[in-house]
RNA sequence: GUGGGUGUAGCUCAGCUGGCAGAGCGCCGCGUUGUGGUCGCGGAUGUCGCGGGUUCAAGUCCCGUCACUCACCCCA
């Protein structure tokens, strides 16, 4: 087969990497379902007007075209979805009559963005999304719940600590309006660069791009530098002397999210007033998540509250959601050697083959093990036992089974222990039954 | 889309002012003739990204092109 060069932005893992990704997916699904979210999948394509409804022309959408479409044929106007929130909003509108509100769903699917790839940035990647959508109204406590659920997922994974940073769009927009900013979005955009270009760079941007006075820029910078683990950020904001009713509302909401989430999962959330997130449809709480020690890669889970992403004219469907960047997270774990995978194959046991005429005996052993839920495979060739053991060793398979008319034996090739065994009763230790993913020593060494 | 960097063995890379394509790791074999790993010995492996140019001679110099990569933009 001709060798295909790898395509930038379309990651493909080796088997061990796939084990890591599968663990993330399994964990997300388990925790989501534990919290009562129903699994859902939407089609991969949406009409372009659906995706770009909010005027986000700048999205780099991959469009769909039939290879044999005639020149004269009208453009179907379909594109691969770039997130899961917009398709979900469309789904809610279409099925509103058959859904119960507030509607809770999780959705784990690939999404596509035609942007230039970089570390942690891909053109095809998987998101694990949860949203709660109400009809006309949605209780505020769901904005606490999103942080709690995502924090639970992250805490159940063998990864460095993750901190969900929360801000509130009303707080930010109200504050910027209060200091006389003509365009809140451009202020947000500038503030968002604080990590990259520093306070002086942001101050310059605020004056040139966002049209702020030097003193207003200074005030915004002081606001953006506020970061607290409790609701004390509120006093810090008030001390800046900016007054705006929308801001007050945002302060109260943010305080409720931070105290609420930390009451249930201590240390899971911080109020960070520099967080901009999604300059598009978010209207209240916004979330962003950093992996401690790996902040430069960007957020691994983001989302927020949106008041009117979906509306059929008579009713609106406000929602709140958060999305785990599965591919980004896995790429950090693999690229920075943060995890160790016990083996690259599911098999706990390699059943040796004495000679090709006796392969059926080995297959019978394998069937008996499988009947009891023990993943195993039969050696591909009746090589010398040394080679068969090496075959297992290379893949990380911990046990090799030797069929023998005088009585089978099974060898733990890590310790060299070899014992008599019956295929109908022997079991590996539970920790050896499936591949495991553990924090690597380099991760533990991290402070 | 804009700007920088890099393309040589499966992987990581060396290869000077142009002169027989290399190392380490990995892989295969043997020592050890049906129980791996360590050790020793031996072995195989290349479209030097691609195309053109200069030259007696190009991995090396020149032009073009493609890919990858980093940054900007933006984002999971």
Query: What are the distances in angstroms from CA A97 to CA A47, A102, A315, A316?
Result: 22, 13, 12, 13
User: C-alpha A9: how far from its chain's center?
Assistant: 17
Per-residue tokens: A418: 């070899």
Sheet holding A418-420, edge to edge: A376-378, A349-351, A399-402, A409-412, A418-420
Tens of pLDDT along chain A (447 residues) come to 334 557 788 888 888 899 999 999 999 999 999 999 999 999 999 998 888 765 555 677 888 888 777 767 777 788 899 999 989 999 999 999 999 999 999 999 999 988 888 888 899 999 999 999 999 999 999 999 999 999 999 999 999 999 999 999 999 989 998 988 888 878 888 888 887 788 888 888 888 888 888 888 889 999 999 999 999 999 999 999 999 999 999 999 999 999 999 999 999 999 999 887 766 788 899 999 999 988 888 899 999 999 887 888 889 999 999 999 999 999 999 888 889 899 999 999 999 999 999 999 999 999 999 999 999 999 999 999 999 999 999 999 999 999 999 999 999 999 999 999 999 999 999 999 999 999 987 665 443
Instruction: Count the Cβ atoms, other than its own, within 10 Å of residue A424.
Output: 10
State the DSSP H helix or E strand holding residue A21, giving kind and residue range, or none if neither.
helix A15-34
In angstroms, the CA of A118 and the C1' of B5 are apart by 14
* Interface residues 285-304 of A with strand B (CB < 7 Å): 288-289, 296, 298-302
Could you check: is the Cβ of residue A343 within 7 Å of any atom of nucleic acid strand B? Answer: no
* Interface residues 53-72 of A with strand B (CB < 7 Å): 58
Per-residue tokens: A322: 């958060």
In angstroms, the CA of A58 and the C1' of B19 are apart by 55
In angstroms, the CA of A279 and the C1' of B73 are apart by 14
CA distance A425 to A1: 44
State the DSSP H helix or E strand holding residue A271, giving kind and residue range, or none if neither.
strand A269-272
Report whether A90 contacts A50 (CB < 8 A). yes
CA distance A374 to A78: 45
Domains of chain A listed by start with CATH number: 7-157+307-341 (3.30.930.10), 162-291 (3.30.930.10), 349-438 (3.40.50.800)
If phi > 0 it is left, if psi is from -120 to 50 it is alpha, else beta; for residue A41 that is beta
Could you check: is the Cβ of residue A113 within 7 Å of any atom of nucleic acid strand B? Answer: yes
ipTM: 0.85
Looking at residue A90, what is its pLDDT?
92
CA distance A296 to A179: 30
Bases in strand B with any atom closer than 7 Å to a protein CB: 1-2, 27, 29, 33-37, 67-76
Residue A269 sits at the vertex; the CA angle it makes with A322 and A334, to the nearest 5 degrees, is 65
CA distance A256 to A244: 19
In angstroms, the CA of A423 and the C1' of B34 are apart by 22
Closest CA to A278 of A172, A200, A436, A396: A172
- Which nucleotide has the least CA–C1' distance to A124? B76
* Interface residues 354-393 of A with strand B (CB < 7 Å): 354-355, 382, 384-390, 393
* Interface residues 390-419 of A with strand B (CB < 7 Å): 390, 393-394, 400, 402, 409, 411, 413-414, 416, 418
Per-residue tokens: A318: 């406000």
Could you check: is the Cβ of residue A192 within 7 Å of any atom of nucleic acid strand B? Answer: yes
In angstroms, the CA of A7 and the C1' of B60 are apart by 29
Give A358's contacts (C-beta < 8 A, 6+ positions apart): A382, A403
CA distance A188 to A277: 9
Residue A114's SS3 state is coil
Residue A108's SS3 state is strand
Residue A307 sits at the vertex; the CA angle it makes with A297 and A229, to the nearest 5 degrees, is 45
């Amino acid at each position: 087969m001709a060798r295909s060069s790898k395509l930038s932005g379309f990651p493909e893992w080796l088997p061990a990497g796939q084990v890591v990704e599968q663990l993330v997916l399994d964990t997300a699904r388990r925790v989501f379902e534990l919290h009562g979210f129903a699994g859902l999948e939407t089609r991969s394509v949406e009409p372009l007007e659906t995706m770009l409804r909010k005027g986000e022309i700048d999205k780099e959408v991959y469009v769909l075209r039939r290879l044999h479409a005639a020149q004269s044929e009208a453009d179907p106007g379909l594109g691969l979805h770039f997130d899961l929130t917009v398709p979900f909003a469309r789904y809610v509108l279409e099925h509103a009559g058959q859904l119960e509100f507030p509607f809770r769903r999780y959705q784990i699917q690939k999404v596509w963005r035609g942007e230039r790839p970089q570390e942690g940035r891909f053109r095809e990647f998987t998101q694990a999304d949860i949203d709660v959508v109400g009809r006309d109204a949605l209780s505020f406590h769901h904005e606490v719940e999103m942080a709690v659920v995502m924090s639970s997922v992250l805490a159940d994974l063998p990864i460095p600590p993750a901190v969900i940073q929360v801000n509130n769009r009303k707080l930010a927009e109200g504050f910027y309006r209060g200091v006389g900013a003509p365009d809140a979005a451009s202020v947000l955009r500038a503030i968002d660069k604080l990590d990259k270009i520093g306070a002086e760079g942001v101050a310059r941007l605020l004056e040139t791009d966002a049209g702020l006075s030097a003193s207003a820029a200074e005030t915004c910078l002081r606001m953006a530098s506020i970061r607290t683990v409790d609701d004390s950020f509120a006093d810090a904001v008030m001390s800046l002397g900016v007054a705006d009713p929308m801001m007050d509302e945002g302060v109260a909401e943010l305080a409720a999210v931070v105290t609420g989430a930390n009451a249930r999962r201590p240390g899971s959330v911080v109020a960070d007033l520099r967080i901009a997130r999604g300059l598009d449809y978010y209207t209240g709480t916004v979330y962003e998540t950093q992996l401690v020690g790996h902040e430069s890669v960007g957020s691994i889970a983001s989302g927020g509250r949106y008041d009117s992403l979906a509306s059929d004219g008579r009713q609106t469907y406000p929602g709140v959601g958060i999305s785990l960047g599965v591919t980004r997270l896995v790429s950090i774990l693999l690229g920075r050697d943060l995890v160790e995978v016990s083996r690259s194959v599911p098999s706990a046991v390699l059943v040796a083959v004495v000679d090709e005429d006796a392969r059926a005996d080995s297959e019978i052993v394998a069937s008996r093990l499988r009947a009891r839920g023990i993943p195993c495979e039969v050696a591909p060739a009746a090589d010398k036992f040394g080679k068969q053991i090496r075959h297992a060793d290379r893949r990380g398979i911990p046990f090799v089974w030797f069929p023998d008319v005088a009585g089978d034996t099974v060898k733990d090739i890590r310790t060299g222990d070899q014992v008599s065994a019956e295929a109908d009763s022997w079991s590996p230790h539970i920790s050896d039954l499936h591949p495991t993913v553990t924090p690597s020593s380099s991760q533990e060494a991290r402070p």
